Structure 1
Amino acid sequence: MAKVPDVAPSSWAVGWEERPWGVDASANVATQGLSRRQRMAARGPYRAAVPATIAALPVHTAAEVTAAAEDALQEITRFDAELAQGLSHLGGDSDGELAPLSAVLLRTESASSSQIENVTTGAKDLALAALQEKTGTNATLVAANVDAMQRAADLSDELTLDSMLAVHRTLLHGADYAEPGSWRSGQVWIGANAPTPHRASFVPPHSDRVVELLQDLIDFCHRTDVPVLQHVALAHAQFETIHPFADGNGRTGRVLVHTMLHRAGVTRCLTVPVSAGLLQDTESYFRALTAYREGEIEPIIARFTEAAFAGVGNGRALVSDLQSVTHGWLDVVTARRHATVWRVLPVLAEQPAVTVPYLQRRLDVSQPAAQHAVDQLLDAEILTPTSAGRRNRVWVAQEIVEALDAFAARARRR
């Protein structure tokens, strides 16, 4: 039986409760390979967090924090509107908004979110993974994160326990250790060098509290009396504090950010690169989460404000780079007006690695038409082959890969 929580003085701060340790298989596994002294230190009860219920808590922030967050929100809205202009010169299958850019930014945001968790891949490998070509494990994981972000877009009209599970199931598909699509069934803790929760930097709530806390969080997310960016930042911090999954909490929590921005009507594309902004100073991000758990809500709001400005700035630089590349394409491609090659160009901006069968399916054209378009782009030096063989050849738009890698490099730069 857990002890009554030791409630912290601030209403936003977590409380703590003692939980028994050493009575289940996970405890035995955690202490394997430890010295006798280390095993002694890992005996007895440990303290697990009891997060505050926040559904009805008042949100009070200093005027300057509120004003900065509002400015950042306006910047997000402006950038989202700008996406309707970005690469419209390419035409393609655009439905009135920029055809490839929403997908490009979806990918870059997914990659940045994964990189915060030290899951890193280059733009070329990510594009190859999207074709299900053989790549490294990280590229496969990031490609799954892209699917999860798209799932968030599809589910943005609802925010429920089931929709959270659906996003996690997509995000961690195939990673059985993470129990995809299931709430965690055991205790987790944060701290890479902590073999047991006794010396962890943070111990989230016990698994038997997860569902009740998440329902409270969902109730908080449905409030309409909290300014949008503050609302998003606090919901994200509470989600990370609950830590409801065995793995993938950070990436799933950042999907929640985009879901809330979309639900609030701030974005249409669900792709504003907030994670890229957080990536510029992950230490500050983690410190802000710690402050939140201690009852200070302003640091996480301020960090999201900074991330919004940084991410939008980086996103604009990427759009500029892509415009420069694709305008150059129009100068070197010569073909009749309705040739298939013109429909391939916007696809390359989104998916810079292609095969002939992929283009056949994507554009619903014949094999000869797809192959002829590839040949034209090869002659124009827009595409290059990834291997010398003729069978199952993959073609890459290297200039797009370089623009995307430059975006990632800027996101990592302090």
Structure 2
Amino acid sequence: MRVTGSYVISTTLGESVRAFVPHALPPATPVLDASSYAELNRTAELSLARLQGVAGLVPSIDWLLYSAIRQEALLTSQIEGTQATLIDLFDKEAGLTVSNTDDVEEVTNYLRAFRWTQDTLRDPKGLPMSVRLMRQAHRLLMDGARGAGRQPGELRKSQNWIGGTRPGNAVFVPAPPEHVSALLADLESFIHQVDTQDTLPPLVRIGLVHAQFETIHPFLDGNGRIGRLLIAALMEQWGLLSQPLVYVSAYLKQHQSEYYQRLSAVRTDGDWEGWVAFFLEGVARAADTAERGIVALASLINTDRRRLLQAPKITPASLRLFELLPLMPIFSIDQVCERLNTTFPTATAAVKTLEALGIVVEQTGQKKNRHFSYQAYVQLLSS
């Protein structure tokens, strides 16, 4: 059996526990068995390539990114227990009051952290994938009421544990805090290791990075979300997707129990092969799901556009508004005025045209402060 780390005694809350210190990547003694992942990796890479191709069906890549990034933000947060829904997120962006403010704030924080990470990695003068970048992403993720006491952007200075009510009955105890900095430095070195790039496929390396990050658990909170953010960021950086169109968190949430079991088996049984196989299967499934979603989205938008173009009262403003709907599926007249840079009467007329065709639906039942929804689009993304 492969040994993937060692145990050291750590004392926390008056209890002595065995904390796990992982060996540096890549897996060794034995090395990762290529025959266990070769076919799964090929399937996952083909699924990502098809997804990239199908994205061309939709006139604007921004439409796809708007929904895909929000789906990932929502699902990765839900894995950690956040109860916010996609409609909550759309309502918040439309300026509506939402009841679960803290949950929605956690999701929007993930969006900010993800966008910042993506922009930084794309900027020739920005930070590379590094511990410093992870810490800044964590600072953005934990911004706000819930994260204020969780040391945003700081590596933990105390012993943490996963599962259980106290350290002594925990499911897993990560490395003591004095080991964290060196472990992350090793992980950063692996990410940039040239010889590994020649021997291990990019998706396999991403799977290894994610599992190792979760095992180190370097922050007091938010480790799962930052670890899953790394998946999307590295997919783009290592040329698997030009845009973050796939949301792997959907698969991980659907198979949450196995997700945690596979990570645990790496530590207890040295089963890197089992984890990598699970991860590659998840990437392929997530890419296939995203591909079907794009086809459905393209079909819906094309059908509704044809209806609008055939309408007798179509105006340039109503057509421009329609093109904006996938980027603001819930909206007010004032927001239409701002986005179209037009007058209130012109914006109102444009909305009425879409409302008469059943493309948008008024939500409030009021005469003032009305909000409208691209209902079919919202339902499609929420299904």
Structure 1 and Structure 2 fold alike (TM over 0.5): yes
**1:299-338 superposed matches below 5 A:** 299-333=274-308, 334=311
Match of 1:185 among 130, 145, 157: 157
What's the CA shift for 1:345?
Answer: 2.3
Alignment CA distance shift 1:335-1:342 (3 Å): farther
Alignment CA distance shift 1:207-1:358 (3 Å): farther
- How far apart in 1 are the matches of 2:120 and 2:216? 21
Question: Per the alignment, in what secondary structure is the counterpart of residue 46 of structure 2?
Answer: helix
Question: Per the alignment, in what secondary structure is the counterpart of residue 7 of structure 2?
Answer: strand
Alignment CA distance shift 1:391-1:211 (3 Å): farther
Tell me which stretches of 4 or more aligned residues in structure 1 moved more than 6 Å.
Answer: 335-338
What's the CA shift for 1:402?
Answer: 0.9
Number of aligned residue pairs? 366
Identity across matched positions, percent: 28
- How far apart in 1 are the matches of 2:186 and 2:218? 13
Q: Which amino acid aligns with 2:111?
A: V
Partner of 2:25: 54
Match of 1:351 among 325, 328, 343: 328
Q: Which amino acid aligns with 1:178?
A: R
Question: Per the alignment, in what secondary structure is the counterpart of residue 245 of structure 1?
Answer: coil
TM-score by length of 2: 0.88
Does the CA-based 8 Å contact 1:110-1:146 persist in structure 2?
A: yes
**1:213-292 superposed matches below 5 A:** 213-223=183-193, 224-225=197-198, 226-292=200-266
Partner of 1:69: 41
User: Given the alignment of the two structures, is residue 148 of structure 1 paired with residue 113 of structure 2, yes or no?
Assistant: yes
TM-score by length of 1: 0.82
What's the CA shift for 1:242?
Answer: 0.8
Q: Which amino acid aligns with 1:61?
A: D
CA deviation digits over 1:179-219, x for unaligned, max 9?
Answer: 2222222221110xx23211100011122222221121111
CA deviation digits over 1:35-85, x for unaligned, max 9?
Answer: xxxxxxxx5422211121226968522414222112212211220232122
**1:99-248 superposed matches below 5 A:** 99-135=62-98, 136=100, 137-157=102-122, 158-174=128-144, 175-191=147-163, 194-223=164-193, 224-225=197-198, 226-248=200-222
Does 365-374 or 223-232 show the bigger shift? 365-374
What's the CA shift for 1:358?
Answer: 2.9
- How far apart in 2 are the matches of 1:244 and 1:60? 25
Does the CA-based 8 Å contact 1:335-1:341 persist in structure 2?
A: no
Partner of 1:20: 11
CA RMSD, 1 decimal: 2.3
Does the CA-based 8 Å contact 2:314-2:353 persist in structure 1?
A: no
What's the CA shift for 1:367?
Answer: 4.0
Q: Which amino acid aligns with 1:172?
A: M
Alignment CA distance shift 1:55-1:134 (3 Å): same
- How far apart in 2 are the matches of 1:265 and 1:218? 18
User: Given the alignment of the two structures, is residue 10 of structure 1 paired with residue 2 of structure 2, yes or no?
Assistant: yes
Alignment CA distance shift 1:131-1:214 (3 Å): farther
Gaps of 5+ in 1: 1-8, 22-26, 28-42, 89-93, 407-414
What's the CA shift for 1:178?
Answer: 2.7
Does 70-79 or 231-240 show the bigger shift? 70-79
Does the CA-based 8 Å contact 2:54-2:295 persist in structure 1?
A: no
What's the CA shift for 1:132?
Answer: 4.3
Question: Per the alignment, in what secondary structure is the counterpart of residue 48 of structure 1?
Answer: strand
- How far apart in 1 are the matches of 2:356 and 2:81? 39
- How far apart in 1 are the matches of 2:291 and 2:186? 36
What's the CA shift for 1:10?
Answer: 3.4
- How far apart in 2 are the matches of 1:112 and 1:335? 41
Q: Which amino acid aligns with 1:370?
A: A
